[in-house]
Chains A and B, each alone.
Chain A
Amino acid sequence: MITFMNNSDSEEEPCNERTSLMSAESPPVPSYQDGLQASEAGEAQAHRKRRAGSSRGPNNITGGETSGSGVAVRESALENEEEELTLKYGAKHVIMLFVPVTLCMIVVVATIKSVRFYTEKNGQLIYTPFSEDTPSVGQRLLNSVLNTIVMISVIIVMTVFLVLLYKYRCYKFIHGWLILSSLMLLFLFTYIYLGEVLKTYNVAMDYPTLFIVIWNFGAVGMICIHWKGPLQLQQAYLIMISALMALVFIKYLPEWSAWVILGAISIYDLMAVLCPKGPLRMLVETAQERNEPIFPALIYSSAMMWTVGMAKPDTAARGPSQQTWDAAEDGREHLRSPSHAESQMSETRSPVPPRPVTLEELEEEERGVKLGLGDFIFYSVLVGKAAATASGDWNTTLACFVAILIGLCLTLLLLAVFKKALPALPISITFGLIFYFSTDNLVRPFMDTLASHQLYI
């Protein structure tokens, strides 16, 4: 475990960078704010974006891409006209995001509850070098804080590296990295996951069958994510990848570190996306300057784009831990207006469609919302951890679930109001953390006592 973890770690690094770069790579869709696109394509994109964006605040895609700067989203000037449409489509887009997030969480919780493997402590990631098995509380707290610092600094380094790579146009590097990450994620993690599930249910499977199954799964996944594929399938793959990544995190992050990391990541997300000097923001701005779409890697798109094949950066990002970080960064960074993200997505996806065609096609499709995969992962980590470690079991899990969904709603609402790329993590994670700790400690004894007397409130 540890060995491959190490490998993935190393991979992650490149992945992280790549991911951030990837995002940068895709030509940024003109943000709403920009309004005027320099080029026609830009206009088309922007137009699309705006349409998309206007439709919904909720659509704000939470750009998974690490490019925190993604926040910049394209808030175009069309906002006014589109505002009217915004709320109208708003709810729909919120639901389009609710469903995958819910699915991911369900998969994670179901796995945690049934497969023992993911709740056993078998070592730690290289990113969290300090152990939590110390006798004293203070020492444990200190270790978890140190772990968090290490983790966050890794993320920051990755993101900055990615931004630099993007600035210097090392696109191939990014692409290669993402592909490697997604390969690793799709094959290795799936193999482990499948092995554990089969073990739990005591189902025997021979190696050739396993090989065929995993090969098919992985190959189709690679194609779907990185190239073209039906939207539903691509979404399903992205969800699976997020779930796998979240499971890895839940397993390998020590208890207190996990919570502190969640909190720290929210803060980092907030800063990276909103501060003018934040790496993500710079990434987005650079991408916009060059009029290129930000690499859609690590973004979950809920709308059907004809260019849908592109998902690759997402998956790639997901690859072993690195990807997660990338995804996380990306995701955290962007909560962009959907159109924005979409445009980017589409752009990245289909590099060459003639603009008018692109525009038409995009308009035909529903505007979807984009959410970064990192966001998926961290939401699932929170809920999974709640399911795994809370003694109040389902109540706590349910409470965290509702809290995260509400946080997502609020974030989307804010997105509609501000029309900029927004970090998707902070509000949801804050709510989730508050609810987790309070439900576990306060509500649980209350409900237990009520239930034992069979009282109802």
Chain B
Amino acid sequence: MSSGSGFGDEKGGSSSVGEPEYGHDPASGGIFSSDYKRHDDLKEMLDSNKDSLKLEAMKRIVAMIARGKNASDLFPAVVKNVACKNIEVKKLVYVYLVRYAEEQQDLALLSISTFQRGLKDPNQLIRASALRVLSSIRVTIIVPIMMLAIKEAASDMSPYVRKTAAHAIPKLYSLDPEQKDQLIEVIEKLLADKTTLVAGSVVMAFEEVCPERIDLIHKNYRKLCNLLIDVEEWGQVVIINMLTRYARTQFLNPNVNESLLEESGEKAFYGSDDEEGKEEKAEAAALAKRKPYVMDPDHRLLLRNTKPLLQSRNAAVVMAVAQLYFHLAPKAEVGVIAKALVRLMRSHSEVQYVVLQNVATMTIKRRGMFEPYLKSFYIRSTDPTQIKILKLEVLTNLANETNISTILREFQTYIKSMDKDFVAATIQAIGRCATNIGEVRDTCLNGLVQLLSNRDELVVAESVVVIKKLLQMQPEQHSDIIKHMAKLTDNIQVPMARASILWLIGEYCEHVPKIAPDVLRKMAKTFTNEEDIVKLQIINLAAKLYLTNSKQTKLLTQYVLNLAKYDQNYDIRDRARFIRQLIVPTDKSGALSKYAKKLFLALKPAPVLESPFKDRDHFQLGSLSHLLNAKAGGYQELPDWPETAPDPSVRNVEVKDSVPEWTKCSSREKRKEKKVEKPFYSDSEEESGPTESADSGNQSNQCWLSFHVLSKQNYTRVFLTRICCLIKQSLLSGAEEKNRAQKVKGRRSGSESESEEEEESESESSRSESESESESESDTDAKKKKKAPVTKPPPKQAKKESKKEKKEMSLLDLDDLIYRSFKILPSVTLHSFPQLSRLHLLKSPLLTTSCPTIAPSGSVKTYELLHRITGEGLGVEYCFSRQPFSPDAHMVAVQIMFTNNTNAETKNLHVEDPKLQSGMRIKEFPEIELLPPGEMVTVVMGIDFCDSTQAANFQLCTHIRKFFVSIQPPVGELMMPVFMTENEFKKEQGQLMGMNEISEKLTLGEKCQNEHGIVQRVTSAANVSRVPCGSDKECRFAGKTVSSGILVLVTVATKEERAAQLTVNCEKMVIGTMLVKDILQALTQ
């Protein structure tokens, strides 16, 4: 009777109220006689009126449960107290109930009504806990009650209760899988919940009940991505794992292009003329695939929103993000996870164990990622053996030609370790390095041979086994090693090593003709005392020698075979019989014996020393199945990428929802409201300027206007108000404007197409939104600007030269902004902007005069991307507009102007196949569907140059041709202006001294001796802004690089005559030196 001993050691009741009696030696119990009495005692206490006695009794009962003692016979007495007023007693009763309800189903039903009452309680904690307990009672009769309760709780107003409902779903499902359909309905409802509290729990329920219903996720995908950062950490893990699977079914493989590039290149060479019929199909398929890879914005959203979670303190979250990146991110971006994973290695050894397993798998596929962290995997003598062996695995995977010498040196110290299992693993690791890296094979082999004289037998044995494998690769050159090993047979006792030596000698007996028979002689002597594997190898050796050197070894072989014939092990007896028939020719022996030599001495393929982690990545990383390398129950296979992406529009949430949002954020007052609604983190996002909002995904798309208004950079604000004016005017006084526009258009280029009518109607749809937009404010603003005196008119000559160009440029800038504004309105397409640009032309004088002081975009240089002759009539120019590129703040905006000089239409202009340096990224412009002859169109694309002046190469495709083009940025365009005060400037400069400072003396050019000239030259050479300065001898400028935001400070100090000194302070020396060169040139000319 198991319960008996449980009560034995409980001390008498009321003497120790308030203190659970537990910490007593179990051996002291076992007074069987008092068992029943004690039961009665507890029952009595439970029946009493005093809460304190009840509590004491419950505490003792729970203590019994905790120790695994049976307390089920108290069930009736305990259940009576389920409605007890004392909350602690109640809780403990719940604990008891949940534990024993399954065993006492009928009695458990007594308690149900209490919970049903609890479900209606005004206190949300009580509602939630009633549901929790009710759903935890594993009694099938109450399934309908549970179902009802869950459904009701799913629409409770308290998110905490809804969360509990989500938790209850898998409980009910495991109790009665028949309820699946109804439960899925509840899950669907809860998935639509917008609170972070519920998100994690409901996804958990989804994973347990219906992981195959991926269609339920579509509508909630974006919401989940955006909520992710605010969800509690455990929920994050579940959501990320689920989204990984989701993304694998919905998006295209981002790395597909790399593998395809090579393939298609080959095709172009070989598969040109012949075999047309057969290849046609394949080529068609390849063509379909060759369509440029554009990452689905939703795919990007997922990657972007999970990245910050790499900084989580929870190892499981970090691992989840790491596996997501490993499985979903483009190759170039996977690298970011390495640092975070290496950080986890500092954690508890269990965490290390799991992380190292995953790192080992990753290093096979993407070795480069972890190479910089090689030293983090060095082994410490205090590491547990299992960690050491995993680290060794990682080190071996990371070994390549450049680092092998350091790794081998490290291995050398490991061999001296006291931990012999680890030493054995190290020797194997050396063997694997030797096979993988040809250059060090001899070094390794020599090192291993030295180990043969080690005193520890295990070490020697392991070396022998590894040497055997290595020698198999090139036996000819190493007969001396084989001889050396033959000598070892006298000393080594480890069976595996002896067997390996014997096999080696047998296999290469022709290289050691003198020693081999002698070894056989020795082995024959000790045959009876050997282990089985050694015996088998002795027979093997005998057979091989008999075939090659029968004169010397015939008798020995006979002797060995006879010994084997009477061995205890039947394997050995069988082998002996079999070999005798094969090699000793008798009249009965068949044709086989003729081929005996071929059978035994066939060339055997060298073994491949492979990592045990190879191919483990077909399991989702971070999963239990991956760790065990075996499918665990309930594991959801990671699907392969689809060939073509399923319809992305399924993730669109109804337009109805998105439009109000746009209007909401376009007016200032309402935007404030919105801010209040937002979750905790997003709040601070908005405040911190343009860089942030670009990161925050969808939100930035919804309200770029608000972010521009908010942004501290004045010039965008000016542009913005102007645009607002323009849009408004153009739309309100449509006809009049149109006429004027026509005039201007006529002046500019004779033959622009006449498609205003439809454009007008299209843009009309945006009127309602734009009207409300800061009307009065922008008006007054605009007037102010008009009146504002132009403080620094540019020198006349320069103005003349660049006048026309300048005009165009500022217009184009506007285009850019307007284009972005319209991207959000679904009904407006690209067609609408030629017209808009014409409208702005009217206002251009105003713009150009008011702008230079604020935005130093005075003289923008245009570069040629494609000459119209090489482009067969298509001329393409580009320039750096110096505007922030709103979809991604780390990108440089490049404006591209297409001119169609042919007589035919050019269609489908788009970018294909970007070939970029690692880290560089391109955001293509949207495809231009049609470019009529003689027309000109301007688009903006973003390139992240990673702060280098490396060119970005890509293909420009029309519907008929492809052109290889490249954009190389001057160093000055890799930065953007930063506004700072003189003091800030000095402070920053103080931190960037020494190596980070580059100074150059120069003589100023004739035309830029005054301050104004210098400012103009510098700002045209680099996208920096002027820093206000007290002294007139110095001009200061500040900027930061676009990609990584590193400060660039420029100082020009003028001296007597035309001498001056230029100083550039920048952390990146390359950028600094290049910038000095460029500015120097600009100033001296």
Please indicate whether A and B come from the same complex rather than being unrelated chains. no
Binding site for A on B (CB under 8 A): none
